[in-house]
Amino acid sequence: MKKVGIIGVGEYLPKKILTNADLEKMVDTSDEWITTRTGIKERRIASSHEAASDLAINAAKEALKDARLKPQGLDLIIIATITPDMQFPSTACLVQANLGAKNAVCFDISAACAGFVYAIIVAQQFIARGTYKNALVVGTEVLSSITDWDDRSTCVLFGDGAGAAVLSEVKSGGILSTYLGSDGSMANLLMMPAGGSRNPATHKTIDKRLHYIKMEGNEIFKSAVKIMVDTAQIVLKQAGLKCSDVDLVIPHQANVRIIMAMAKRLGLPSDRVFLNIEKYGNMSSASTATALCEAVKVGRIKKGDIILLDAFGAGLVWGACLIKW
């Protein structure tokens, strides 16, 4: 098996900023409630001509530049998204065409907020076995397109963005250990009920507002902390490392209270946890992806550091990846 590492990162955030003050004018909420309950101050909203592939392409170009790799050098493109441009073809194929990555095999992964971690681990398998050499993995979401802007319990939480990583064989370090988990018995806690084969789009599904995110946030909250702690402990044990060996945790950015409860249980000081939720809210698969990119850009990740990616989301699904940078 070959060692696999991340050799380039990139991100793209739409220009439009929606603040908590803006939301106060749209639904019965307050900056105080949103800040104390979630840690979110503002989020980005894609323009009407920006779809998931557009965000992904911008993030991918930055990651390819960072990796010093031409699009033709890609053998594999995996896009993690729950807001694809359309049901089919895959958003990965649309990204491929735009980049001119004509040698790449392309497909999407649906693993909600854990999508970027899932995609990294899938890409790692192909590279480790020598099937493919260079992979582009992108978490991209236009959650504003499936957000019910009349529902205060969800609309304050989500935002749009994309983050990308290029994976390749590395001589030293790289991905040390990985873990994925799923529990479909909790699928009802977070879903978009219509638009698939169960409830195809009709006037009735639109009138019932079934094409929007429905979430039982409270129930997810209860599982989230335990899932993230258990997942972190599993990958650390597999790698023969302790929490104190971790230089930086890049968690899924669903709620700052979930993240800080996780850090406390793991015995990690808050300065070893990277946050961007304040600026962007929950961007599903794009949250861990952009957080990783920004941590690199601001110098929070240095060569030799031990990095823990830890995410969970609708499914429920979860996953973690321990990386020596």
Which residue, 93 or 317, has its beta carbon nearer to ligand ACO? Answer: 317
Candidate residues 3, 61, 152, 211; the one interacting with ligand ACO per rule CB under 6 A: 152
Q: Does 93 bind ligand ACO (CB under 6 A)?
A: no
Candidate residues 98, 110, 153, 182; the one interacting with ligand ACO per rule CB under 6 A: 153
Q: Which DSSP letter does residue 146 get?
A: G
Look up 113 and say whether it is catalytic.
yes
CA gap 232, 243 in Å, rounded: 8
Q: How many CB atoms lie within 10 A of CB 168?
A: 23
In 3D space, the residue among 143, 217, 148, 156 whose CA is nearest the CA of residue 18 turns out to be: 156
Q: Does 122 bind ligand ACO (CB under 6 A)?
A: no
Q: Do residues 236 and 296 lie in contact, with contact meaning Cβ atoms separated by under 8 Å?
A: no
Bridge partners (DSSP) of residue 311 are: 319
Which residue, 146 or 170, has its beta carbon nearer to ligand ACO? Answer: 146
Query: Which residue stretch of 30-38, 229-237, 272-280, 294-302 sits at the interface with ligand ACO (rule: CB under 6 A)?
Result: 30-38
Q: Is the dihedral of CA 110, 106, 144, 257 positive or negative?
A: positive
Q: Does 110 bind ligand ACO (CB under 6 A)?
A: no
Candidate residues 80, 194, 254, 273; the one interacting with ligand ACO per rule CB under 6 A: 254
Q: Is 22 helix (H, G, I), strand (E, B) or coil?
A: helix
Look up 282 and say whether it is catalytic.
yes
Q: Is 95 helix (H, G, I), strand (E, B) or coil?
A: helix
In 3D space, the residue among 166, 181, 1 whose CA is nearest the CA of residue 74 turns out to be: 166
Query: Which residue stretch of 33-41, 68-76, 94-102, 235-243 sits at the interface with ligand ACO (rule: CB under 6 A)?
Result: 33-41
Q: Does 238 bind ligand ACO (CB under 6 A)?
A: no
The minimum distance between CB 58 and ligand ACO, in angstroms, equals 22
The minimum distance between CB 323 and ligand ACO, in angstroms, equals 22
**Maximum CA extent, the chain:** 57
Residue nearest to ligand ACO (CB): 217
Catalytic residue, from 20, 106, 252, 276: name it: 252
Helical segments of 184-216, H only: 203-207
Which residue, 195 or 217, has its beta carbon nearer to ligand ACO? Answer: 217
Q: Which DSSP letter does residue 27 get?
A: S
Q: Does 162 bind ligand ACO (CB under 6 A)?
A: no
The minimum distance between CB 215 and ligand ACO, in angstroms, equals 6
Percentage helix, strand, coil for the chain under 3-state DSSP, each rounded to 5: 40, 25, 35
CA gap 296, 311 in Å, rounded: 18
In 3D space, the residue among 212, 153, 190, 213 whose CA is nearest the CA of residue 33 turns out to be: 153
Query: Which residue stretch of 32-40, 124-132, 170-178, 195-203 sits at the interface with ligand ACO (rule: CB under 6 A)?
Result: 32-40
- Residues that bind ligand ACO in the complex, under the rule CB under 6 A: 29, 33-34, 37-38, 112-113, 152-153, 156, 190, 217-218, 220-221, 224, 254-255, 282, 284, 313-314
Residues with a known catalytic role? 113, 252, 282
